[in-house]
A and B are shown apart, each in its own frame.
Chain A
Amino acid sequence: GENVEQHPSTLSVQEGDSAVIKCTYSDSASNYFPWYKQELGKGPQLIIDIRSNVGEKKDQRIAVTLNKTAKHFSLHITETQPEDSAVYFCAASRTGANNLFFGTGTRLTVIP
Protein backbone atom coordinates (compact mmCIF):
# COMPACT_ATOMS: atom_id res chain seq x y z
CA GLY A 1 0.00 0.00 0.00
CA GLU A 2 0.86 3.67 0.02
CA ASN A 3 3.34 5.13 2.52
CA VAL A 4 3.42 8.89 3.09
CA GLU A 5 6.27 10.52 4.99
CA GLN A 6 6.03 14.12 6.21
CA HIS A 7 8.75 16.49 7.43
CA PRO A 8 9.41 18.33 9.63
CA SER A 9 7.32 17.15 12.57
CA THR A 10 7.51 20.61 14.17
CA LEU A 11 8.21 23.98 12.61
CA SER A 12 8.46 27.42 14.21
CA VAL A 13 8.61 30.59 12.13
CA GLN A 14 8.45 34.30 12.82
CA GLU A 15 5.29 36.07 11.75
CA GLY A 16 5.66 37.23 8.15
CA ASP A 17 8.17 34.55 7.21
CA SER A 18 7.44 31.62 4.91
CA ALA A 19 6.85 28.01 5.97
CA VAL A 20 7.44 24.89 3.89
CA ILE A 21 6.25 21.37 4.72
CA LYS A 22 7.34 18.42 2.60
CA CYS A 23 5.83 15.00 1.94
CA THR A 24 7.00 11.99 -0.02
CA TYR A 25 4.88 9.08 -1.18
CA SER A 26 5.66 5.57 -2.38
CA ASP A 27 2.83 4.59 -4.75
CA SER A 28 3.50 5.95 -8.23
CA ALA A 29 -0.20 5.46 -9.05
CA SER A 30 -1.27 8.05 -6.47
CA ASN A 31 -2.84 10.99 -8.24
CA TYR A 32 -4.60 13.08 -5.59
CA PHE A 33 -2.78 15.04 -2.87
CA PRO A 34 -4.79 17.09 -0.35
CA TRP A 35 -3.51 19.15 2.57
CA TYR A 36 -5.46 19.50 5.82
CA LYS A 37 -5.13 22.02 8.65
CA GLN A 38 -6.21 20.94 12.13
CA GLU A 39 -6.60 23.57 14.81
CA LEU A 40 -6.82 22.68 18.47
CA GLY A 41 -10.16 21.10 19.35
CA LYS A 42 -11.31 20.92 15.73
CA GLY A 43 -11.40 18.42 12.91
CA PRO A 44 -9.04 18.58 9.92
CA GLN A 45 -10.08 21.14 7.34
CA LEU A 46 -9.09 20.90 3.68
CA ILE A 47 -6.99 23.92 2.71
CA ILE A 48 -5.75 22.99 -0.75
CA ASP A 49 -5.41 19.95 -2.97
CA ILE A 50 -3.62 19.07 -6.19
CA ARG A 51 -4.01 16.41 -8.80
CA SER A 52 -1.24 14.73 -10.73
CA ASN A 53 -1.99 16.50 -13.98
CA VAL A 54 -0.73 19.82 -12.57
CA GLY A 55 2.60 20.76 -10.99
CA GLU A 56 1.58 23.72 -8.85
CA LYS A 57 -1.55 25.28 -7.42
CA LYS A 58 -1.93 28.54 -5.50
CA ASP A 59 -4.66 29.99 -3.33
CA GLN A 60 -3.74 33.38 -1.89
CA ARG A 61 -0.90 32.76 0.63
CA ILE A 62 -0.95 28.98 0.19
CA ALA A 63 0.63 26.98 -2.60
CA VAL A 64 1.28 23.32 -3.24
CA THR A 65 3.89 21.91 -5.62
CA LEU A 66 4.05 18.36 -6.94
CA ASN A 67 7.01 16.50 -8.41
CA LYS A 68 5.68 13.19 -9.75
CA THR A 69 9.06 11.97 -10.89
CA ALA A 70 10.55 12.33 -7.42
CA LYS A 71 7.25 11.43 -5.74
CA HIS A 72 7.13 14.38 -3.44
CA PHE A 73 4.85 17.34 -2.85
CA SER A 74 5.16 20.40 -0.65
CA LEU A 75 2.98 23.01 1.06
CA HIS A 76 4.19 26.59 1.01
CA ILE A 77 2.68 29.27 3.24
CA THR A 78 3.87 32.82 2.67
CA GLU A 79 3.52 35.85 4.98
CA THR A 80 2.62 33.61 7.88
CA GLN A 81 0.23 34.87 10.54
CA PRO A 82 -0.42 33.64 14.10
CA GLU A 83 -3.71 32.10 12.95
CA ASP A 84 -1.72 29.79 10.66
CA SER A 85 -0.53 27.99 13.81
CA ALA A 86 -1.98 24.46 13.66
CA VAL A 87 -1.13 20.87 12.75
CA TYR A 88 -0.91 20.27 9.01
CA PHE A 89 -1.42 16.84 7.42
CA CYS A 90 -0.61 15.86 3.87
CA ALA A 91 -2.29 12.88 2.22
CA ALA A 92 -2.10 10.85 -0.97
CA SER A 93 -4.52 8.61 -2.80
CA ARG A 94 -4.92 6.78 -6.09
CA THR A 95 -8.70 6.59 -5.86
CA GLY A 96 -9.80 9.73 -4.03
CA ALA A 97 -11.41 10.57 -0.71
CA ASN A 98 -12.32 6.98 0.16
CA ASN A 99 -8.71 5.85 0.35
CA LEU A 100 -6.53 8.64 1.75
CA PHE A 101 -3.14 7.82 3.25
CA PHE A 102 -2.11 10.55 5.69
CA GLY A 103 1.32 11.81 6.61
CA THR A 104 2.28 11.99 10.29
CA GLY A 105 1.59 15.72 10.63
CA THR A 106 3.57 18.93 11.15
CA ARG A 107 2.91 21.23 14.08
CA LEU A 108 3.44 24.78 12.80
CA THR A 109 3.89 27.60 15.30
CA VAL A 110 3.94 31.19 14.06
CA ILE A 111 5.62 33.46 16.59
CA PRO A 112 4.18 37.00 16.73
Chain B
Amino acid sequence: DTEVTQTPKHLVMGMTNKKSLKCEQHMGHRAMYWYKQKAKKPPELMFVYSYEKLSINESVPSRFSPECPNSSLLNLHLHALQPEDSALYLCASSGTGTTQNSPLHFGNGTRLTVT
Protein backbone atom coordinates (compact mmCIF):
# COMPACT_ATOMS: atom_id res chain seq x y z
CA ASP B 1 0.00 0.00 0.00
CA THR B 2 1.10 3.53 -0.77
CA GLU B 3 2.10 5.90 2.03
CA VAL B 4 0.39 8.79 0.24
CA THR B 5 -3.36 8.68 0.86
CA GLN B 6 -5.83 10.33 -1.48
CA THR B 7 -9.56 10.88 -1.02
CA PRO B 8 -11.99 10.37 -2.55
CA LYS B 9 -11.03 7.46 -4.81
CA HIS B 10 -13.76 8.36 -7.29
CA LEU B 11 -15.57 11.64 -7.90
CA VAL B 12 -18.29 12.59 -10.36
CA MET B 13 -19.14 16.27 -10.62
CA GLY B 14 -21.09 18.58 -12.84
CA MET B 15 -19.55 21.55 -14.58
CA THR B 16 -21.08 24.00 -12.08
CA ASN B 17 -20.03 22.11 -8.96
CA LYS B 18 -17.26 22.92 -6.51
CA LYS B 19 -15.35 19.99 -5.05
CA SER B 20 -11.99 19.30 -3.42
CA LEU B 21 -9.46 16.50 -3.67
CA LYS B 22 -7.43 15.68 -0.58
CA CYS B 23 -3.99 14.18 -0.08
CA GLU B 24 -2.11 13.24 3.08
CA GLN B 25 1.37 11.88 3.75
CA HIS B 26 3.19 11.15 7.00
CA MET B 27 6.67 10.45 5.65
CA GLY B 28 8.00 13.84 6.73
CA HIS B 29 8.33 14.94 3.11
CA ARG B 30 8.40 18.70 2.56
CA ALA B 31 7.62 18.62 -1.19
CA MET B 32 4.17 17.70 -2.45
CA TYR B 33 2.84 17.49 -5.99
CA TRP B 34 -0.32 17.30 -8.06
CA TYR B 35 -0.21 15.38 -11.33
CA LYS B 36 -2.92 14.76 -13.92
CA GLN B 37 -2.98 11.49 -15.86
CA LYS B 38 -5.17 10.81 -18.89
CA ALA B 39 -5.82 7.26 -20.04
CA LYS B 40 -2.79 5.52 -21.56
CA LYS B 41 -0.60 8.58 -20.98
CA PRO B 42 2.17 9.38 -18.49
CA PRO B 43 1.50 11.66 -15.51
CA GLU B 44 1.67 15.40 -16.26
CA LEU B 45 2.92 17.76 -13.56
CA MET B 46 0.45 20.44 -12.44
CA PHE B 47 1.76 21.95 -9.19
CA VAL B 48 4.67 21.60 -6.77
CA TYR B 49 4.71 22.78 -3.17
CA SER B 50 7.98 23.04 -1.30
CA TYR B 51 7.88 23.80 2.42
CA GLU B 52 4.16 24.62 2.06
CA LYS B 53 4.81 27.27 -0.58
CA LEU B 54 3.81 26.96 -4.22
CA SER B 55 7.04 26.63 -6.19
CA ILE B 56 5.86 25.37 -9.58
CA ASN B 57 2.61 25.99 -11.46
CA GLU B 58 2.73 24.41 -14.91
CA SER B 59 0.36 26.98 -16.44
CA VAL B 60 -2.67 25.20 -15.02
CA PRO B 61 -6.09 26.89 -15.60
CA SER B 62 -7.44 28.81 -12.62
CA ARG B 63 -10.39 26.42 -12.28
CA PHE B 64 -7.83 24.25 -10.45
CA SER B 65 -6.72 25.83 -7.17
CA PRO B 66 -4.13 24.07 -4.98
CA GLU B 67 -3.72 24.54 -1.25
CA CYS B 68 -1.15 23.23 1.21
CA PRO B 69 -2.52 23.80 4.75
CA ASN B 70 0.47 22.12 6.43
CA SER B 71 3.42 19.88 5.68
CA SER B 72 1.28 16.71 5.62
CA LEU B 73 -1.75 17.86 3.66
CA LEU B 74 -2.38 18.94 0.10
CA ASN B 75 -5.73 19.91 -1.41
CA LEU B 76 -6.87 20.59 -4.94
CA HIS B 77 -10.00 22.74 -5.19
CA LEU B 78 -12.05 22.29 -8.34
CA HIS B 79 -14.57 24.76 -9.77
CA ALA B 80 -16.32 25.10 -13.12
CA LEU B 81 -14.48 22.15 -14.66
CA GLN B 82 -14.92 20.98 -18.23
CA PRO B 83 -15.54 17.40 -19.41
CA GLU B 84 -11.98 17.30 -20.80
CA ASP B 85 -10.72 17.68 -17.22
CA SER B 86 -11.87 14.13 -16.53
CA ALA B 87 -8.73 12.19 -15.58
CA LEU B 88 -6.87 10.46 -12.77
CA TYR B 89 -5.46 13.08 -10.38
CA LEU B 90 -2.36 11.89 -8.58
CA CYS B 91 -0.79 13.34 -5.48
CA ALA B 92 2.89 12.68 -4.77
CA SER B 93 5.49 13.62 -2.20
CA SER B 94 9.26 13.62 -1.90
CA GLY B 95 12.05 14.83 0.28
CA THR B 96 13.76 18.06 -0.66
CA GLY B 97 17.38 16.93 -0.43
CA THR B 98 19.51 15.32 -3.08
CA THR B 99 18.00 12.69 -5.35
CA GLN B 100 19.75 10.15 -3.15
CA ASN B 101 17.15 10.74 -0.51
CA SER B 102 14.16 12.07 -2.33
CA PRO B 103 12.43 9.75 -4.81
CA LEU B 104 8.88 10.58 -5.76
CA HIS B 105 6.12 8.62 -4.00
CA PHE B 106 2.65 8.59 -5.59
CA GLY B 107 -0.77 8.00 -4.10
CA ASN B 108 -3.35 5.85 -5.88
CA GLY B 109 -5.17 8.85 -7.25
CA THR B 110 -8.70 10.22 -7.51
CA ARG B 111 -10.59 9.19 -10.63
CA LEU B 112 -12.50 12.35 -11.62
CA THR B 113 -15.39 12.40 -14.08
CA VAL B 114 -16.87 15.74 -15.12
CA THR B 115 -20.38 15.52 -16.59
A residues near B, CB below 8 A?
A: 31-32, 34, 36, 41-46, 49, 51, 89, 93, 96-98, 100, 102-105
Interface hub of B2, B43, B92 (most chain A Cβ within 10 A): B43
Indicate whether A49 sits within 8 Å of B103 (C-beta atoms), given known contacts A98-B56, A104-B41: yes
In contact, B103 and A97 (Cβ under 8 angstroms): yes
| B48 CB contacts on chain A under 8 angstroms | 98
- Size bracket of the B interface: 20 to 34
Give 1 or 0 for each of B16-57: 1 = CB within 8 Å of chain A CB: 000000000000000101000000111101001010000110
Tell me the smallest distance from the CB of A79 to a CB of chain B, in Å. 25
**Residue of B whose beta carbon sits closest to that of A44:** B106
A32 to B99, CA, bound (A): 7
Q: Which residue of B43, B92, B99, B103 contacts A102 across the interface (Cβ within 8 Å)?
A: B43
Flag if B50 contacts A105 (CB, 8 Å): no
A-B contact pairs, 6 of them (CB 8 A): A43-B90, A46-B103, A98-B50, A100-B45, A102-B42, A105-B41
Interchain nearest-CB distance for A50 vs B (Å): 10
Known: A104-B41, A105-B40. A43 touches B106 (CB 8 A): yes
A96 and B102 contact, CB distance less than 8 A: yes
Supposing A97-B31, A98-B56 touch, asked if A43 and B2 sit within 8 A by C-beta, the answer is yes
| Nearest chain B residue, comparing its CB with the CB of A89 | B42
Give the docked Cα–Cα distance between A104 and B40 (Å): 8
Q: Tell me, in angstroms, the Cα distance from A36 to B105 when the chains sit together.
A: 10
Contact check, A46 vs B105: say whether CB atoms are below 8 A apart.
yes
Contacts of B90 in A (CB 8 A): 43-44
Across-interface contacts of B31 in A (CB, < 8 A): 97-98
A43-B56 Cα distance, complex, nearest whole Å: 21
Among A97, A100, A105, residue most surrounded by chain B Cβ atoms (within 10 Å): A97
B42 near A45 with CB under 8 A, answer no
Within the complex, what minimum Cβ distance (angstroms) separates A5 from chain B?
A: 12
The 8 Å CB contact of B106, one of A32, A45, A103, A104, is: A45
Q: Is B59 an interface residue (CB 8 A)?
A: no
Known: A43-B90, A105-B40. A100 touches B109 (CB 8 A): no
